[in-house]
Amino acid sequence: MLRLHIVRHGQTDWNAIRKVQGQQNSELNDTGRQQAASVRQLLRDIEFKAVFASPLLRTRETAEILCQERSNPIQFVDNLKEMGLGVWETHMWEDIPNTWPDEHAQFKQQPELFSLSGAETVKQVSERGKAAVEHIRSQVPSGDVLVVSHGVLIKSIILNFASQPLSVIWDDPHLDNCCRSILQLEHNGSGSWETVADVAIEDVEWAIS
């Protein structure tokens, strides 16, 4: 069995002030570095066979901190990047509804239908997430693997392996910075969640029903 420990990157200043990051590069702030160091301690007794990460700066830095005491090389995978948000990137989230009211309403209320010029759709992000997991499975068939990525990309993977629709991508549990979700993958490709955003799967609302 393959066990993916999927960690969201640590906090950046853009997170703290709610600035749209998307696929822009932003570095970890001191809080983000401390978050990553805390997770490193949490994972210290796990022997990872491989480490995969998004190549964006905030995930790169998080992965480097998580692997400070390890010999694993970090393998960067483009499909693990965050959702591309086109012209929204670098704007403040609070300003988005004023300039793009219809697109923002759709993004929040009907994310599966979201469309914005130059941006990815949620379905495209989901397909990238599936491709990233398949790539990792092809490289490492069993054991523990560390994966460092981004909120929307991780949530799409969560929904895919929980048989949940993309329409609930903004529903709880929320993926806080440096939270960990653990996916167990069988050899036949089927998967089940052990934890989602540090919440035991039996305590996740959609998993109970």
9 tagged catalytic: yes
Helices (H), 43-150: 57-66, 96-99, 101-109, 122-139
Contact 11, 59 (CB under 8 A): no
How many residues belong to the chain? 209
SS3 content of the chain, % helix, strand, coil (to 5): 45, 20, 35
Tell me which H or E stretch contains 14: helix 13-17
What are the residues facing 51 on neighbouring strands? 74, 146
104 tagged catalytic: no
Task: List the structure tokens of 192.
Answer: 């089940």
Q: Quick count: other Cβ atoms within 10 Å of Cβ 141?
A: 12
* Phi-psi domain of 188 (left: phi exceeds 0; alpha: psi -120 through 50; beta: other): alpha
Catalytic residue among 9, 104, 120, 150: 9
Task: List the structure tokens of 165.
Answer: 């629709």
Class of residue 40 by CB neighbours under 10 A (exposed 0-12, middle 13-18, buried 19+): middle
Rounded CA separation 88/69 (Å): 37
Catalytic residue among 61, 82, 103, 120: 82
Catalytic residues: 9, 82
